[in-house]
Chains A and B, each alone.
Chain A
């Protein structure tokens, strides 16, 4: 892994890093990946990849939930007329 790879990942993850943090992360990731790489050597050729958790659907009926609309609205960092206000995307 190179510094450019760290920069690319930080860009994807939307995180800003200082040069010093990039250097630290490069070193730490190398050491962590060196350890977790051992899964490569495990023979799991007879194991099927399956995800056991499935979505559990409910009837499409309106149900009242206990929650506070006021608390949700109060959390908005920027709001107008009870709606969350976002920055222009285009």
Chain B
């Protein structure tokens, strides 16, 4: 049996082409790891029954010499991305038995590439959370320390890659939901620029912030998945093409004013060590100031719930999803929504309803949009001086279950990640080392809008300059 724990997509793809291994071998190895650990980790909500058939098909493509880089590679899919004919629940009781009626754009792309879709991964309900504790199907455990959260909301996808249950995974990132779990599980996670990966077929949470992106062991692998799913799609009216743009990659800006308080000491040490390594690799490090950006989290927790409350109004028990019969039509809406939605989802719907309500709209929603514009401008300007902005991905390593039972405390853990969603910029989280307790720590790099491709080289430079 082949050991795939440290096997990259890059290497596996070469081995497949040389005939040293088959897609069935790789898939069986993933299934073994799932069998061994899924019960304790609760990563997969479903492992697809036809994975071996998918792998056999991929092996035929490889034999015919038509293989692409992802042909035959087992990839896990977050449970809010639609695959035709398969269940997709967004971690919610509301959609427990919902079956997708079409393929998401990113799924079409993966299928065209011949990837093996291995299963759907557990997540915070409707992608709302930073720990997977909001999943209606129980939390995912961090494979590195079972007493700790894997991060969220794409915690299942991160844990699946980190525990060798797949080679790469897709997640969605509205305020850090790819990068934070990648950091907590010690892998690479990337949120593309807004608009460059089609959102067609990902369940809308907050449409002006949502993006689909890859999880992988290395940035080369993350790039392989990104290159596969990127592209213009007429089903997403915001979708754009980024080919043909070039960006400089030599100066890294660091907003040190943000790191003065509230950041774990070991996270900071690993952050500084990573910057030193990059300096040795030829990057210039420059102190920068981003005065508006410190309001990103406040603006985020106004704009996001506003969009959530609107987007989730479609779940009323009429056309699909859970229905609980009431006396009249409104009663049925209420009963269905109350039975289907968990506590955090309700909280954000109520919060969103409040900030959008008459009398508060200007003070909250419109003001938050203005702050967002100011932050976008601030980023445009800073990228005239530097090529990347670096911060730790999270203020602390993976926390324990139940540690952040107060919602505001949980929200504050997104302090560094939400900025990229507010500004729309591409951002990658890569491992920066471990804490003394052996927990992974992460560092994230943000580039200018559409500089997605330029983010992937940094992790390699970091890895090779020890």
Given A39-B368, A77-B321, the answer on whether A29 and B408 have CB atoms closer than 8 Å is no
Chain B, range 333-361, C-beta contacts under 8 Å to A: 333-335, 337-338, 341, 343, 346-347, 349-351, 353-354, 357
Residues from 267 to 324 in B contacting A, C-beta threshold 8 Å: 292, 295, 298-299, 301-302, 309, 313, 316-323
| Bound complex: CA A31 to CA B58 (Å) | 52
Question: Which residues from chain B contact A33 at a C-beta distance below 8 Å?
Answer: 351, 354
A-B interface, 8 closest residue pairs, ranked by CB to CB distance from nearest: A77-B323, A71-B101, A75-B320, A67-B102, A56-B237, A16-B338, A44-B370, A87-B329
Which residues of B sit under 8 angstroms from A58, Cβ to Cβ? 234
User: For chains A and B in complex, what number of residue pairs have CB atoms within 8 angstroms?
Assistant: 153
Q: Is the CB of A40 within 8 A of B367?
A: yes
CB neighbours (8 Å) of B350 from chain A are 6, 9-10, 13, 15, 25, 29
The reply to whether A75 and B318 contact each other, CB–CB distance below 8 Å, is no
User: Which A residues contact B (CB, under 8 angstroms)?
Assistant: 5-6, 9-10, 12-17, 21, 25, 28-29, 31-33, 35-40, 42, 44, 47-51, 53, 55-56, 58, 65-69, 71-72, 74-78, 84, 86-89
Q: Determine the distance from Cα of A56 to Cα of B341 in the docked complex, in whole angstroms.
A: 33
- The reply to whether A75 and B349 contact each other, CB–CB distance below 8 Å, is no
B341 near A39: Cβ-Cβ < 8 Å = no
Q: Is the CB of B301 within 8 A of A68?
A: no
B residues lining the A interface (CB < 8 Å) = 84-85, 98-103, 208, 234, 237-238, 292, 295, 298-299, 301-302, 309, 313, 316-323, 328-330, 332-335, 337-338, 341, 343, 346-347, 349-351, 353-354, 357, 363-364, 366-371, 373-374, 377, 406-408, 411
In the docked arrangement, what's the CA distance between A51 and B415, Å? 24
> In the complex the two chains form, is B99's CB within 8 Å of A75's CB?
yes
Pairs A–B under 8 Å by Cβ, sample size 30: A6-B350, A14-B313, A15-B337, A15-B341, A17-B338, A29-B350, A31-B407, A31-B408, A36-B298, A36-B301, A36-B302, A36-B368, A39-B367, A44-B370, A44-B371, A47-B373, A49-B370, A49-B373, A53-B238, A67-B101, A68-B102, A69-B101, A71-B100, A76-B320, A77-B317, A77-B318, A77-B319, A86-B329, A87-B328, A87-B329
- B interface, by DSSP: helix, strand, loop or mixed? helix
In the complex, the answer to whether B295 meets A13 with C-beta atoms within 8 Å is no
Q: What 4 additional pairs, Cβ within 8 angstroms, besides A65-B102, A86-B329?
A: A13-B309, A31-B406, A42-B374, A49-B366
B193 to chain A, nearest CB (A): 13
CA of A53 to CA of B208, assembled, Å: 9
Q: Among A48, A67, A86, which residue has its beta carbon within 8 angstroms of that of B84?
A: A67
What's the nearest-Cβ distance from chain A to residue B300, in Å?
Answer: 9
Residues A68 and B84 in contact in the complex (CB < 8 Å), given A14-B334, A39-B298, A84-B318? yes
User: Distance in Å from the Cβ of A17 to the closest Cβ of chain B?
Assistant: 8
